[in-house]
Amino acid sequence: MRTGNHWLRDMAFLNQRTLGVGVLLLGLSSAAGATGHLLDLSLEELGDIQVLSVSRKAQRLADTAAAVTVITAEDIRRSGARSVPEALRLVPGVQVAQIGAGRWAVSVRGFNSRFASKLLVQVDGRSVYSPMFSGVFWSAQTLMMEDIERIEVVRGPGASLWGANAVNGVINIVTHKAVATMGALVRASIDDRGKPELAVRQGLALDGGGALRVYAHSINRSAFETAGGGSARDEQTGWRTGFRLDSAATGADHWTVSGDAYRQRSPEVLALGSAGSAYSPFDFEGAHLLAQRSWAMPVGVASLRGYVDYADVVLGALAGATVYSGDLDFQHRLPASGGHEWIWGLGLRHQQVSVRSEVSVFDFMKDEARMQTFSAFVQDEIELLPQQLRLTLGARLEARNTTRPQIQPTARVLWSPTSRDTVWTQWSRAARTPSYGDLYASLVTGSQPYPPFALATLVSQANPQLEPETLNAVELGYRRQFERGNAEAVLFRHRYSRLIGNTLGGVRTPGRFPPLPEVILLRDNHSAAVSEGVELGGELSVMRGLRLGAAYTAMRFSFDASDDPVRAGASDTVANRNADHWLSAWARIDLPGAQELDLQLRHVGALTGQPSPGVAAYTVADLRYGRRFGRHLDIALSITNLFDERYTAFDSDYFPSAYAYDRRRILLTGRWMF
């Protein structure tokens, strides 16, 4: 096993060299920066000039008093990401751990888990956060990557504007308008284990300037390995089909209707404590229909969005859950006047959760629950000094039938001393309302020695009295746009209180798996924690055809000490799932003849206190070679984990299973567009 030190030293070497070249070139071109000769060229000739293009991310975000990173369609394509979590590795502050073939743990600023309860993820404004599991089932979020226009990642609380569960962060996936995906696209790929995938998409122009696209794609991802080298039997298969219809746009008026339906199967071998293990497929199916319209009001611009969503998961013969959601959201942005820029909105959400369980591992207090949430928000951006100093005040009220209403305020100051520099600071209070799972689901979480017993079954016990968890967050950030790149640095401190933790609820003998006794871990609101750290990110166009980027995060995440050994143990378990540093770095190289070479390095520090054999630090390199043939065809060869490092990134929580290990994967992809 290699140590982090070697790795850092090598990185330093890399930096020295590339910086050297970069500085040399910066010097060269500033001397020859005159626009003069360009003015004599015709429009046609101008179109042939190659530029040193720079990601405009920082500039686009220059006015935002929040730690926001945008992943563009180009970033996604060149990273070779086949799923959203893979693309998120490019963002500082986001912790991405692959548990198995289709299983992921993704979180922002701590609390990493298979179901990160404090992270909101939405696709075109539709929440994909499950109220059943208090998190996102990433196995079911198999989007067609070519449809994604951008992914906006907001680190830190975004609750005042975005709403429920936007406590640690918001991941906002935005798909292309239909008019941007005209013509036909066929993608076929095969990996080195012989698993093929196919995707087809057709875009059509409609009379009157609107457009429609329809698509379908299959998912077929090969299994990970067990510690012994056999198959972890967690291969992911499935399909998704959908459409998006956009009206013509002139001025502020347009509407969109979109929908999809999917089925996914992601089996795993569940470790059921003393009851042994069970091979059990997770079968997901779901569908949604969304409509959105924006229009010009007498003053300002309004938008109304509504959707219905169905999501079902069946865990083999063991259990199942169905969630129906209906959501209506109204937003009104007023034009800036007198230095104030107001935006306000109202939201209404109805969710119905029904569950079934055939085994004593999962136990639900209620078979069905209905949750109604009402929310209202208002935000004012106040210009204190024109173009220089801006104050944003906002608050969201959220009321749900199951808990007390919560007010989530935020105050942000943005200072732009020059047109290239931005400094911001913010304070926010956010709250997470307990989900159905927190309130009503009891689960066996494993088994362990519990003196005087040699082994006991641990049961996390439901508590319908739970109150919302709260967060106070402060942040200080700096962004700079260079002629050839951008950089950002963010310091954050999140103070969580009234966290849902565990205390001893009693010991039952015999428990549900006789002869073992059962230790009841009752959920309550008495835990507290702090996460603090630094997030660094940057991109640089070293020269034409060579772009470099990096994202680094160092984080300290700890719970308040407790005399209660059960609480302390549960807190440690949650804290230990987070690495204290991670980094990714990439180089995007354009070679002559429409060829592309993309290199990506990812390093994640070790997770401490994990069950044997543990999760060690790992460094993995990914390589992608792409080549375009004319206008209609491109071929890419991607090698993830180039040097075939055998590693595991996470110990599956909620649904415990043995560690799964990843090896080198090779994927050949062809894409036809006509």
Partner 1 sequence: MRWRLLLLLLPLLFASSVRAAPPPTEYQLKAVFLLNFARYVTWPDAALADSEAIDICVLGRDPFGEHLTGLEARQAQGREVKVHFPAAPEQAGECEVVFVSASEQRRLNAILRELEGRPVLTVSDIEGFVEAGGNIGLVTVDDRIRFDINRNAVSAQHLKLSAQLLKLARRLIGQEGD
Near partner 1 in 492-551, by CB under 8 A: 542-546
**358 vs 483 by CB, closer to partner 1:** 483
Q: Is 15 in the site for partner 1 (CB under 8 A)?
A: no
Q: Which of residues 89-128 bind partner 1 (CB under 8 A)?
A: none
Q: Contact between 14 and partner 1 (CB under 8 A)?
A: yes
Whose CA is closest to 269, among 260, 282, 251, 258?
282
Minimum distance between the CB of residue 50 and partner 1, rounded to whole angstroms?
A: 5
Using the minimum distance from each CB to partner 1, give the nearer residue, 41 or 407: 41
Closest CA to 493 of 93, 109, 153: 109
Instruction: Read off the amino acid at residue 447.
Output: S
> How many CB atoms within 10 Å of residue 370?
13
Near partner 1 by CB under 8 A, which window of 185-193, 462-470, 501-509, 638-646? 638-646
60 is a site residue for partner 1 (CB under 8 A)? yes
Cα gap 134→468, rounded to integer Å: 13
Contacts (CB under 8 A) with partner 1, residues 582-601: 587, 589-591, 594, 597, 599, 601
Place of tokens 């055809």: 545
Three-class DSSP labels, 53-113: CCCCHHHHCCCCCCEEEEEEHHHHHHHCCCCHHHHHCCCCCEEEEECCCCCEEEEECCCCC
Q: What is the 3-state secondary structure (H, E, C) of 346-370?
A: EEEEEEEEEEEECCCCEEECCCEEE
- 33 lies in the site for partner 1, by CB under 8 A: yes
At residue 513's C-alpha, the angle toward residues 509 and 515, to 5°, is 55
Which of these ranges, 38-46, 185-193, 457-465, 663-671, lies near partner 1 under the rule CB under 8 A? 38-46
**Which token pair is 286?**
């779901």
Residue 642 to residue 616: CA distance in whole angstroms: 18
Helix (H, G, I), strand (E, B) or coil at 388: coil
Closer residue to partner 1 (CB): 27 or 276 = 27
Q: Does 419 bind partner 1 (CB under 8 A)?
A: yes
CA 593, CA 80: separation in Å to the nearest integer?
20
Mask 171-190, x = binds partner 1 (CB under 8 A)?
-----xx-xx-x--------
- Least Å distance, CB 345 to partner 1, is 14
Residues 216-255 that bind partner 1 (CB under 8 A): 246, 248-254
Shortest Å, Cβ 663 to partner 1: 14
* Three-state secondary structure readout of 497-563: EEEEEEEEEEEECCCCCCCCCEEEEEEEEEEEEEEEEEEEEEEEEEECCEEEEEEEEEEEEEECCCC
CA separation for the pair 557, 579 (Å, rounded):
9
Amino acid symbol at 199:
A
Q: What phi and psi values does residue 4 have, to the nearest 5 degrees?
A: -60, -30
**Binding segment for partner 1 among 16-24, 218-226, 276-284, 551-559 (CB under 8 A)?**
16-24
**Closest Cα to residue 169, out of 100, 118, 232, 205?**
118
Q: Which two tokens stand for residue 559?
A: 């719970």
- What x/- string results for residues 365 through 404 when contact with partner 1 is judged by CB under 8 A? ---------------------xx-----------------
Q: Is 271 in the site for partner 1 (CB under 8 A)?
A: no
Q: Note the Cα 166 to chain centre separation in Å.
A: 12
Contact between residue 299 and residue 335 where contact means Cβ atoms under 8 Å apart: yes
Determine, following the binding rule CB under 8 A, whether residue 32 of this chain makes contact with partner 1.
Answer: yes
218 alpha carbon, distance to own chain's centre = 22
14: number of CA atoms within 13 Å, CB side?
14
370 neighbors 350 (Cβ within 8 angstroms): yes
Query: Which segments of 318-420 are extended strands (E)?
Result: 319-333, 340-357, 362-364, 368-385, 389-400, 403-415
The yes or no reply on residue 296 touching partner 1 (CB under 8 A) is yes
For residue 341, the minimal CB distance to partner 1 (Å) is: 8
Q: How far is the CB of 416 from partner 1 (least distance, A)?
A: 8
Compare residues 256 and 433 and give the one whose CB is closer to partner 1.
256
24 or 317: CB nearest partner 1 = 24
Question: Whole-number minimum distance, CB 430 to partner 1, in Å?
Answer: 21
The residues in 302-341 that bind partner 1, with binding defined as CB under 8 A, are 303, 333, 335-336, 341
Report, in Å, the least distance between residue 32 CB and partner 1.
6
Cα 403 to chain centroid, rounded: 27
> CA 367, CA 356: separation in Å to the nearest integer?
7
DSSP H or E stretch at residue 618:
strand 618-629
Given the complex with partner 1, which of 407 and 635 has the nearer CB atom?
635
54 binds partner 1 (CB under 8 A): yes
From candidates 190, 227, 291, 301, binder to partner 1 by CB under 8 A? 301
Distance in Å, CB of 620 to partner 1, minimum: 10
Contact region with partner 1 (CB under 8 A), list: 296-304, 321-329, 355-363, 530-538: 296-304
Cβ proximity of 669 and 655 under 8 Å: no
Minimum distance, C-beta of residue 486 to partner 1, in the bound complex (Å): 12
The residue from 384, 635, 643, 668 that contacts partner 1 (CB under 8 A) is: 643
Decide whether 13 or 279 has the Cβ nearer to partner 1.
Answer: 13
Q: Whose CA is closest to 68, among 92, 97, 84? A: 92
The residue within the footprint of partner 1, chosen from 358, 384, 483, 632 (CB under 8 A), is: 483
Counting contacts by CB under 8 A, is residue 87 touching partner 1?
no
Q: Least distance (Å) from partner 1 to the CB of residue 108?
A: 21
Q: Which stretch binds partner 1 (CB under 8 A): 119-127, 307-315, 425-433, 641-649?
A: 641-649
Residue showing tokens 């229909």: 289
Whether the Cβ atoms of residue 459 and residue 274 lie closer than 8 Å to each other: no
Distance CA 161, CA 148 (A): 22
Q: Is 150 in the site for partner 1 (CB under 8 A)?
A: yes
**Displacement of CA 340 from its chain's centroid (Å):** 32
Which segment (9-17, 104-112, 321-329, 428-436) binds partner 1 by CB under 8 A? 9-17
18 binds partner 1 (CB under 8 A): yes
Which residues, numbered 598-617, are part of the site for partner 1 (CB under 8 A)?
599, 601
Residue matched to tokens 């230790």: 519
- Report the alpha-carbon distance of residue 333 to residue 109 in Å, rounded: 30
Whole-number minimum distance, CB 72 to partner 1, in Å? 8
Find the binder of partner 1 among 5, 48, 194, 561 (CB under 8 A).
48
> Of 13, 328, 407, 635, which one interacts with partner 1 (CB under 8 A)?
13
Q: Which is nearer to partner 1, 189 or 619 (CB)?
A: 619
Using CB under 8 A as the binding rule, whether residue 204 contacts partner 1 is answered as: no
Minimum CB distance to partner 1, residue 601 (Å): 8
Our finding on whether 63 is near partner 1 (CB under 8 A) is: yes
